[in-house]
Amino acid sequence: MLIGTLVQFSAVDQSEDVIHTWYVGADTLEGESILRSFPYPQIQRPLTFTVTHVIEFPEDETCYPGVTSDTVTHAFYVIEYYEETKVLNQWMRLAQESSTDSIDFIFRYLLDDGSLAPYGYTGSKSVDLYLINFFSSGDTTIIPRGEVGVIDHSLFFRNSIGGLDGDLLIEESDRISFNYSTNQGAVSLRGRLIN
């Protein structure tokens, strides 16, 4: 979860006879849907917080006798920099499916002075996606301007100068799939995190 964002938690079942209680960190809230903000600088990092959703409902004596509630809990980590996501600043080893030759590379999302890009940066410096060592020669490629999306375990870039588009996904097992295309064709790579 990115610092400074407004996050909505919503229940799937929004029936009138269901009571929803949410425990977000130390706060207790009620309702089918809640909004929470994690503002900077009030949030002290690093921060992992837990969201617990408790639902209470009428007993279904036929299918679930004696069951009148359920609870789901999930932990979230609040990040400030894109580099804190799983998909950036992580060395990856990938190869084409039909090849035994692999490459080790890393994606970085940095300001033009080389410093970390904070989430939501609106200053005068440019923020670019860097692909480091992709050609196994200590090289650095800047992904030309376009649409870039970074989520904890996935990355995409679209509509960049030169026709470069790509999608990278890191699975729970740390297996990676990276598909990209240029004006010269499409490439699919598979591999894993190595650090």
Domains plus CATH for the chain?
A: 6-78 (2.60.40), 82-193 (no CATH)
Average pLDDT of the chain, as a whole number: 86
Cβ count within 10 A of residue 42:
9
- What is the DSSP pairing of strand 175-182 with strand 154-158? unpaired
> Angle 157-88-112 (CA atoms, 0-180°, nearest 5)?
75
Q: Give the confidence band of 159 by pLDDT, cuts at 50, 70, 90.
A: low
Distance CA 79, CA 2 (A): 5
Mean pLDDT for the stretch of residues 149-178: 83
3-state secondary structure the chain: CECCCEEEEECCCCCCCCEEEEEECCEEEECCEEEEECCCCCCCCCEEEEEEEEEECCCECCCECCCCEEEEEEEEEEECEHHHCCCCCCCEEEEECCCCCCEEEEEEEEECCCCECECCCCCCCCEEEEEECCCCCCCEEEECCCEEEEECCEEEEECCCCCCEEEEEECCCCEEEEEEEECCEEEEEEEEECC
Which pLDDT band, with edges at 50, 70 and 90, does 58 fall under? very high
Q: Are 90 and 83 in contact (CB under 8 A)?
A: no
CA distance 193 to 60: 46
* Predicted structure pTM score: 0.65
Flag whether pLDDT at 144 surpasses 70.
Answer: no
pLDDT above 70: residue 178: yes
